Chains A and B, each alone.
Chain A
Amino acid sequence: MSTPTFGSDELAQFRRTFFEECTELLADLEERLGALVAFSSDVESLNAIFRAVHSVKAGAGAFGYTVLVGFAHRFEALLDRLRDGKAELDERTLAALVAAADVFSALVDLARQGEVPADDFGADVAEELGALLDGAAPTASVARPAEAAPEAAKPAEKSYRILFRPNAELFRHANEPLYLIREMKTLGELTVDCDLSRLPPFDAFNIDDSYLGWTMTLRAVCTPAAIAEVFEFVDDECVLTIEEIAAAVEPDEASPVVAVAATVATTVAPPSDPQPSGSKPSESKAAGKTGSISSIRVDLYRVDRLVNMVGELVIAQAMLAQQFTESHSHDDPTALQGFEHLAGLTRELQECVMAIRMQPVKSVFSRMPRLVRDVGHKTGKDVRLEMAGEQTEVDKTVVEELADPLTHMIRNAVDHGIEDAAERLAAGKPAEGVIRLSAQHAGSNILIHVEDDGAGLDRDRLFAKAVEKGIVPAGAKLTGEEIDELIFAPGFSTAAAVTDVSGRGVGMDVVRRNVQALGGRVQVMSTPGKGTRFTLVIPLTLAVLDGMVVAVGWEKYILPLTSIVESFRPGRGQIRVIPGGGEVVSIRGEFVRLIHLARVFGVTEAVADPCQGLVVLIELANGGKLGVVVDELIGQQQVVIKSLQDNYDPVPGISGATILGNGRVALIVDIEELTRLYDRNARIADALRQPIAANA
């Protein structure tokens, strides 16, 4: 299909749209593929996969990506056979589908980059598909012409009765039954009977409503699925039944009916398409859009600009309000009310804008079933993945950055967490291991759990390994939890043998770093014999933070509210100085190390005595506690996070900056880094973060 009437700009635009849609379609495909189970008859998933492949193929054809089209065609043919029940979804076929999906998305990527794939690209997979096709239906010709009437290969003509009764809203969603009926006509011999019974009296007639229903009789060589596909885009807006009727019932009651449909239709739209439809990249997709989707595609850059602008607005509003209250708050209560109203509106506006960037974690979660199956296959383990909370929404960037850590953790869970079937049975567990992946909101954070019912962390081996690697001294006395924490140490791999799947020595430390880069933390909880649970706590958005403003000397710092447990002014008796100069505070029988923010950051004129200032009790990612000594608490505030690194270098102990109501910059404290900065005694916390070469 060449489109000479289009400038290169428009074509490029179409192409971009096509690839954006491909990304979505492939994600959907992947998700559905992950849901497929061998020997099941999950026609719905097969249909969905088929549709995805088909849609990509249609677009690819329009842009002349012939290799992609060719491959899609084979892929589609096998899917088609499967959903018609003409081939069985056995392990081999399932593996072939998974492999085909990989090749397919690789081909799309190549096309996106404008590269032409090598001749033999994916040839083995294509061959396997071919073999499966031949095996499944020796009579069928694999190379069916793509756009020919569907199911031409099958000889038997069948009769169907189709009852199609659209809901009243059909027209309002820009659908047109006439097109559907015409489409039906292309399938075979069609007779249509129009049901006028729901037509209201003329004065009650609403021109926007749909009142008609149709009973169609079709004689054609096609499957019920092919018929259902015609109605694909309206299937949630109508009553549709398709039944096969015993052989050749000759449908005589014929044709005035179509005429009625046509007259009604003309009131809505002229029957001929006013636009040169051949120029659209894909008609089927265009139709799909007008059908049901009520969303628009927006350039991410525009959204980000909006987010930034609103961030500025929030700051400007806060500054204005502060200046006003400082100058003349007493003489003008209405103005004060106005400011409060404005503050409410800006905050709401900010929330709305942030919501635009929110996406369900589903797009990442949906990749996991397949991963579990792959890894389970490679390791010969029987593992089931249970997921919950896929619809939990989080900032788009966070969603993207979650993929790597989750992949790591799930892979680890299958490879190391779950035991062999024999071991499991011996331990009195079912042979099939279970991994649970769940997401939920908790305040301004998202909580993600990765949980397995395996053997739990092997503490003896962990400790031995840590000693061997020089991460902890041989005689160190560590609690069980502290040992569990060791898996986050750099270069630490628990796999006894380096497997193909995991265990290359980069693992949980990378996970922790990735999660920390998102402003989050990761914790591990393990019960020997029962399993391991990882918890990721990640802020919903990277753009704002709930913070506590604290004063230290002349400076003000922001502590992330999520880490703060409580704050208190200790009594003289609560403070102990331990040998070596460190200080601890005792609170409810627990001794917590004290860190003076002023000393870490070199702030002068700060309160030196914790009993004169305040101790902010903080929970670290590893579950440990820390008391941060500050002068006073100023208050809780949602702050817009600004990067220091745009114009400067990373500053240890500082994760970012924000602008306070008075226009001054305040620094956001990186709590985790704080301990490292402060820790001059090489205790465990230090050892965890920087491996000391013990043998050096």
Chain B
Amino acid sequence: MAEPLDLPSIGPDAATAQTRQFISFRVGEDEFAIDIMAVREIKGWTETTVLPNQQDYMLGVLNLRGTIVPIFDLRCRFGLGLTTATRSHVVIIVAIGGRLLGLLVDAVSDILTVNAADIRPVPDVDQPIDNAFLAGIIPVGDSMVVLLSLENLFANHGPANAAIAA
């Protein structure tokens, strides 16, 4: 059995108490997943309005039916360079801690239903992506999908950390 993981819990539906659902998507060659309960909608990429003097993975803001939503380039957040976004790219709108934000990814792949017990902890190995961003590993057939910790990915977005070029 895995150690208790720091995962967002899902709805109180008794039947799914042991299973959890994730949305998996592709960034470059890798498959990632996030808890489906955090996902609000999935839409195609449209041009954003750039906010001045932000980190480069912050792509700007979109109008989502009257709400201003910031969009982040996940590839760039991982430190793998900027995505050249096209219309075939996808933005996943998620809700974290009462805020809405959009994640730019290459493509959405699947919905995974996983037995909670099958989620493995992340082995402590040297890798390009910061370990703190990863919440676990979901085995899918022969390959695996990396479960992301949205909280940690965007935890440093408190006002104190706002990038200021003064």
Contact = CB atoms under 8 A, between A and B. Distances in A.
Given A644-B68, A647-B69, A647-B99, A601 B53 contact: yes
A651 B63 contact: no
B100 interface: yes
Nearest to A665: B49
B54 interface: yes
Nearest to A679: B166
A642 B53 contact: no
A651 B49 contact: no
B67 A654 contact: no
B50 interface: yes
A676 B166 CA distance: 8
Contacts of A659: 63, 66, 68
A648 B99 contact: yes
A555 B68 contact: no
A269 B130 CA distance: 79
Interface residues of B, number: 28
Nearest to A645: B159
Given A651-B52, A651-B162, A315 B66 contact: yes
Nearest to B100: A647
B50 A651 contact: no
B70 to A, nearest CB: 4
Interface string B134-166: 000000000000000000000001110110111
A601 B159 contact: no
Interface in B90-121: 99-101
A647 B50 CA distance: 15
Contacts of B37: none
Contact of A654 (B47, B51, B62, B158): B51
A323 B99 CA distance: 31
B68 A649 contact: no
A663 B63 contact: yes
A602 interface: yes
A602 B68 contact: no
Contact of A647 (B53, B54, B68, B161): B68
A659 B99 CA distance: 19
A648 B70 contact: yes
A657 B157 contact: no
A665 B54 CA distance: 17
B63 A649 contact: no
Nearest to B49: A665
Interface string B55-89: 00000111100111110000000000000000000
Residue of A602, A652, A653 with most partner-chain B CB within 10 A: A652
A80 to B, nearest CB: 53
A652 B63 contact: no
Given A657-B68, A664-B49, A667-B49, A649 B61 contact: no
B99 A665 contact: no
A619 B39 CA distance: 45
B67 A652 contact: no
Interface in A301-331: 308, 311-312, 315
B58 to A, nearest CB: 8
Q: Which of B49, B99, B162 has the most CB of A within 10 A?
A: B49
Interface string A275-316: 000000000000000000000000000000000100110010
Nearest to A664: B49
A657 B69 CA distance: 11
B52 A654 contact: yes
Interface in A388-412: none
Contacts of B158: 649
Contact of B61 (A312, A648, A652): A648
B68 A651 contact: no
A642 B100 CA distance: 14
A648 B157 CA distance: 8
Contacts of B100: 646-647
Given A648-B70, A649-B159, A651-B162, A600 B63 contact: no
Contact of A665 (B62, B157, B159, B165): B62
B61 to A, nearest CB: 5
A158 B54 CA distance: 82
Interface string B22-51: 000000000000000000000000011111
B154 to A, nearest CB: 10
A601 B165 CA distance: 10
A657 B161 CA distance: 21
A555 B50 contact: yes
Contacts of A308: 66
B87 to A, nearest CB: 16
A652 B68 contact: no
B166 A652 contact: yes
Nearest to A643: B68
A85 interface: no
A665 B61 contact: yes
A677 interface: yes
The 3 nearest A-B residue pairs measured at CB? A601-B52, A665-B49, A648-B70
24 contacts: A555-B49, A555-B50, A603-B50, A642-B67, A642-B68, A644-B51, A644-B68, A644-B70, A648-B51, A648-B68, A648-B70, A648-B157, A651-B51, A651-B52, A651-B53, A651-B54, A652-B52, A652-B164, A653-B52, A653-B53, A654-B52, A664-B47, A666-B49, A667-B51
